[in-house]
Amino acid sequence: MTTKRKKLFIISVVFIVVILSFTILNMFMKDGNNISAIYGIIKIHVSNNDIVDITKHSADSKFYLSNSKDGNVHILSKMKERGFSFKEQLGSAHVFTSGDEEVIVTEKIYAQNYIIWTVPNSIN
């Protein structure tokens, strides 16, 4: 291989690696709580937890992360532990009730395989 071809090959490989790196980073960095979510993904895979708390600092809400293949099973059980029963789902919002109190928990897909759940702090 000539020197010119080697340089072209190296430049091509570097270019492809840079593009792939930006694509992967963009996938993880498009949401607000990225470091916490990545830590949560690791925590799910190395522990027996199916749903993990990834809240950093929020006065309004608590954030949980679960695997999307399990659907809403884990948030339903977490809300049941707190005394709430599932009423209905309206798109990405899940409505729970406890007596006269009604709470809305929202879900957001994260990195295609995970769900970030937003639970109001008023019930935690």
Same domain, 54 and 68: yes
Same domain, 16 and 38: no
Q: Chunk the chain into consecutive blocks of 10 residues (it has 124) and report each block's average pLDDT, rounded to whole numbers.
A: 86 92 68 74 89 82 90 92 95 94 93 90 75
Phi and psi (nearest 5°) for 105?
-110, 130
Same domain, 97 and 119: yes
Same domain, 69 and 42: yes
In this prediction, residue 56 carries a pLDDT of 77
Q: Which residues pair with 109 in a beta bridge?
A: 115
In this prediction, residue 28 carries a pLDDT of 60
Which tokens belong to 93?
């919002």
- Cβ pair 18, 24 in contact under 8 A: no
Same domain, 45 and 26: no
In this prediction, residue 111 carries a pLDDT of 81
Same domain, 43 and 85: yes
Same domain, 38 and 26: no
Same domain, 64 and 18: no
Distance CA 124, CA 116 (A): 16
Same domain, 16 and 65: no
Q: Which domain holds residue 43?
A: 33-123
Q: Write the CB contacts of 14 (distance below 8 Å, at least 6 apart in sequence).
A: none
In this prediction, residue 103 carries a pLDDT of 95
Which tokens belong to 91?
């798109």
Same domain, 68 and 85: yes
Q: Which residues pair with 104 in a beta bridge?
A: 95
Q: Tell me how many domains the chain contains.
A: 2
